[in-house]
Structure formats: structure tokens, C-alpha cells
Chains A and B, each alone.
Chain A
Amino acid sequence: MTGRLKITAQVLALAGVAGLLALLVWKLAHQEHAPGVGAAAPAFTLHRLDGPGRVTLASLRGRPVVLNFWASWCEPCKSEAAVLERDWTRYHARGVVFLGIDYHDLRPDARSFVRHHALTFPMLEDGSGQVTGTYGISQVPETYVLNRQGKVVAHLAGPITDPSFAGEFRSALAEAARLKGGTPSAPQAAAP
């Protein structure tokens, strides 16, 4: 009886240790990293901040996409906003879609930011930061430029107004807008 009890306790202890190890391995395997240049951009569906409805990244396949992660409490995002709006106006006609993704922010503050900076490109909300996490965002602003196949062309971990990023952003944007890798799909980003 004593021996059986001892073996049961040992088996339980081993099972506990194995469970903890499995949790550790799962956590390490599921750690989120920023997708590198050439990698497929993580799929997402997010609610619109500026109106009803949701936007799915997959629905934009066939069009170059600029994903700008921002927040109303982020100081560099304020100086970047005007530049993004200007570039959106310039490249919109060439089929480029700009999506602003508001990160860990309060909706009223975010909407007020959009109004204050007169931003007209589609805005999505990621209050929980779940989607933002899959892009490995640790600070805002960060910007991704995706090509028509949904692959990352450039990742700028800082404001695009920064001299070290401005040139890279422009060239990535120009390249993504120029290269045609298929038939562009219908512009569903702005649709509710």
C-alpha cells in the first residue's frame, strides 16, 4: 500500500513537471516576432474606428498596403500624421491602400486624434493589441509596407518622418505602387 502511494505521488509530481515544461515550450513556440521583409503579413480582421464594419487584410490582396500602427497618446504619431495623410492622398489613386491601426488606445481619444489631424484613410482599432502583437509591435509608430501578394516589403520601427526611415518608406511605397503582380481586387477596405 505504502509503495503504491509513493509511486502515485512520484507519477503525479512527474506529470506536474511535464505539464509545466509543456507550457514553457508552448509559450516559446508561440512567441510573436515581427514578420521580416519577404514574409507574409499576418492575417487579421479588425473593427473600423471611423465607422461600422470590419476590414480583413485578405480582402486587399492584389493591392499594395501600408499598415501604420499608432496611438493617440504617442507623441511621434502626431508629427507623422500629416505626412501619412499627404502620402495617402498621393498614392491612393495609384491603388495603394493605407490602413491606420490604433493600438492600446481609448476609442474617444483615438477618434479625436483622427479628427484633429484630419486623417481620411481607413482607421481600424486594436484596443486589446492582439493583432498588433502578431506584427511584433513594441512601440508606436511602426509602419509596414506590403506588396500586392501580401508580403512585407518594408518594416519601419519608428516614425516615417525620421530621416533614417523617410527614404526607405518612399522607395518601398513607390516600388509597391509601381509593380503589378496580378489583378487588383475591388477596394473593400473602405467598405463597411
Chain B
Amino acid sequence: MILRFLAVAAAALAFAAPASACAHPRTSLTYLEGQIMCPTCHTTLDQSNSPAAQAIERFISQKIAACWTAQRIESALVSNYGAQILAAPPRKGFDLLAWWLPIAGVLAGAVVLAVGVWRWSRRREPEPEAATEQELDEETERRLDDLLARFD
């Protein structure tokens, strides 16, 4: 009975080991395929079927099986191919510009648009008090008073 229990426990451990061997959640090939470029076709791996892309996919699969994190796999690929293997530039150094410039561009565009709209709306707004003061000279005011007096 004890022997049978030990055998079942050993078998369960043997099957469970590959899935639970990693100390962290495994990354996936699907995720990394969208993060890594095919060096010969300049698209992400998920859009390429070239031999170079397939070689990288094999490498990624091996490393996922060996419990490598996505970051570690990306670092290994960068050291082999250079930073251009990443679909998105790293968030440090000069490459930060690639992240901040679009945001700066959108903000600058928003500011220009806001200023433009504000100026346009100001130009179209009537200025009743000033207009009244300008339009009603003494003669008109007197005639208006006369007319209003008739209704009293």
C-alpha cells in the first residue's frame, strides 16, 4: 500500500515537474513573437515565416522551456543581434526620444489646437457692451428715449 502510494506520488511529481519547475510564470512564444523583429524581413516574428525568423522562434521556445523570463530572452537576442531586434526601442538613453517625441508632438499639437480654437472663438464672440457704447451716439439715444416715452 505504501509502495503504491509512493509510486503514484513519484509519477505525479514527474509529470508536474515540467509545469511547476519555473519559479515565475512562464512567458509565451506568442507574446515574444510580437516583441521581436525578424532581422531579414523587418517585421515582427508573428508576421514572418522566413528561415531567420523560424530560427529565432526555435531559440525562444527552447529558452521558454528552460524557464527563461521574457526579459532574459530579449537580452540574449539583443546581445546577439543588437537592439534593432526589439520591436520597440529600449526605454533608456537616446532611445527614450522615440518614446517621448510622439507624446511631445501630440501635446504640442493639442496646445496649438487649443490656442487656435480659443482665438477663433474670441474673434466670433459679440462684444455687446462695447458695441452698444459705440453704436449709440447722443442723437440715437435721444430718439430712442423719445420712442420709449411714447409707450409709457
Contact = CB atoms under 8 A, between A and B. Distances in A.
Interface in A128-174: 128-130
A75 B50 CA distance: 12
A107 interface: yes
Contact of B52 (A71, A75, A107, A128): A71
A139 to B, nearest CB: 8
Given A104-B40, A106-B59, A129-B39, A73 B82 contact: no
B84 interface: yes
A129 B85 CA distance: 11
A82 B62 CA distance: 29
Nearest to A129: B39
24 contacts: A2-B119, A9-B112, A71-B51, A71-B52, A72-B55, A73-B51, A73-B52, A73-B55, A74-B51, A75-B51, A104-B39, A104-B40, A104-B52, A104-B81, A105-B52, A106-B55, A106-B56, A106-B80, A109-B55, A109-B59, A128-B81, A129-B39, A129-B81, A130-B82
A127 B78 CA distance: 9
A2 B122 CA distance: 13
Contact of A128 (B51, B82, B119): B82
B75 interface: no
A108 B63 CA distance: 13
A166 to B, nearest CB: 24
B55 A105 contact: yes
A36 B119 CA distance: 60
Q: Chain B, interface size: which category? A: 10 to 19
Q: Chain A, interface size: which category? A: 10 to 19
Name which of A73, A105, A109 has the most chain B CB atoms within 10 A of its CB: A73
B20 interface: no
A69 to B, nearest CB: 12
Contacts of B40: 104
Interface in A54-111: 71-75, 104-109
B47 interface: no
Nearest to B55: A73
A42 to B, nearest CB: 18
A115 B51 CA distance: 20
The 4 lowest CB-CB distance pairs between A and B, nearest first, are A128-B82, A73-B51, A104-B39, A73-B55
Contacts of A2: 119
A45 to B, nearest CB: 15
A158 B101 CA distance: 42
A106 B55 CA distance: 8
B54 interface: yes
A130 B83 CA distance: 12
Nearest to A139: B40
A107 B46 CA distance: 22
Contacts of A72: 55
B78 to A, nearest CB: 10
Nearest to B51: A73
A74 B51 CA distance: 7
Contacts of A105: 52, 55
A107 B78 CA distance: 12
Interface in A107-132: 107-109, 127-130
